[in-house]
């Protein structure tokens, strides 16, 4: 228990849980891209997920990872705040940068938590429409997504959230590897650039979906 209550342990747990969610959002985004292909394929993908007997295990694992990530994030933020030097002590540029990033991470991390909760309420626990594909009755998630993403206000909220996803994922991806000790001055710049690239792919992929729905369906008056 000493490891998990230590600063190093909590940072490493944050890094591991952050990487777990980084991988999840990439696969989640890739699967959801099927909405750009057809309603049938999108609904069959959703049905395959909910029909998977290991879904509950995966969901509990993600919930546990998120809980540890949030709790450790809050703990480390409070610890860093308590460890600040007095106002008359002038911090170095490195310390200033670290504090700014830490404050910023907790800010958009909180926004992301709100987004995740609302996202689950809207889609996973939202209105249930049904349709039949090849004789099998499945949930018509495509209809729900089109309905939600036809709302201008929700699309704007979603776009803002994806900007936050990009910011949190870009810095968090780099910080996670550094917390796990995978860090070298020569590698750091490349790792940082890859973090931004990774975050861009995830955020842009997610954002393409409401944009497509809004202009293809809502814009067409369907």
pLDDT digits (tens, 9 = 90+) for 11-50: 888 889 989 999 999 999 999 999 999 999 999 999 999 9
Query: Smallest Cα–Cα separation from 213: which of 145, 131, 126, 125?
Result: 145
The b/e string for 81-113 (b: 16+ C-beta within 10 A; e otherwise) is eeeeeeeeeeeeeeeeeeeeebeebbebbebbe
- Residue 98: per-residue pLDDT: 46
- Residue 216: per-residue pLDDT: 87
- Residue 132: per-residue pLDDT: 95
The answer to whether 143 and 40 are in contact (CB under 8 A) is: no
- Residue 4: per-residue pLDDT: 61
Name the residue with higher pLDDT: 28 or 182.
28
Name the residue with higher pLDDT: 206 or 102.
206
Is a pLDDT exceeding 70 seen at residue 222?
no
Domain ranges in the chain are 2-218
Phi-psi sector, 221: left (phi>0), alpha (psi -120 to 50), beta: left
Relative to beta strand 130-133, strand 136-139 is: antiparallel
- Cα 207 to chain centroid distance, Å, stands at 12
Instruction: Look at the domain 2-218 and name its fold.
Output: 3 helical TM bundles of succinate and fumarate reductases (1.20.1300)
- Residue 1 pLDDT class (50, 70, 90 cuts): low
d(CA 33, CA 124): 17
Burial class (CB in 10 A: 0-12, 13-18, 19+), 2: exposed
* Mean pLDDT of all residues in 144-155: 96
Other C-beta atoms closer than 10 Å to the C-beta of 47 total 18
């Amino acid at each position: 228990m000493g490891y998990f209550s230590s600063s190093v342990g909590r940072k490493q747990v944050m890094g591991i849980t952050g990487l777990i969610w980084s991988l999840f959002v990439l696969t989640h985004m890739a699967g959801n891209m099927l909405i750009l292909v057809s309603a049938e394929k999108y609904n069959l993908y959703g049905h395959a997920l909910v029909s998977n007997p290991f879904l509950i295990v995966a969901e509990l694992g993600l919930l546990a990872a998120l809980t540890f990530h949030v709790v450790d994030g809050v703990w480390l933020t409070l610890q860093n705040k308590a460890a600040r030097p007095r106002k008359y002590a002038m911090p170095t540029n490195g310390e200033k940068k670290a504090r700014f990033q830490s404050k910023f991470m907790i800010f958009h991390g909180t926004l992301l938590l709100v987004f995740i909760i609302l996202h689950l309420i809207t889609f996973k626990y939202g209105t249930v429409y049904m349709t039949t594909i090849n004789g099998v009755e499945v949930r018509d998630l495509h209809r729900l997504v089109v309905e939600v993403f036809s709302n201008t206000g929700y699309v704007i909220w979603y776009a803002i959230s994806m900007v936050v996803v990009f910011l949190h994922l870009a810095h968090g991806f780099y910080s996670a590897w550094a917390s796990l000790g995978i860090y070298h001055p020569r590698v750091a710049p490349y790792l940082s650039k890859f973090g931004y690239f990774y975050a861009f792919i995830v955020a842009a992929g997610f954002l393409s979906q409401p944009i497509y729905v809004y202009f293809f369906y809502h814009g067409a008056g369907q």
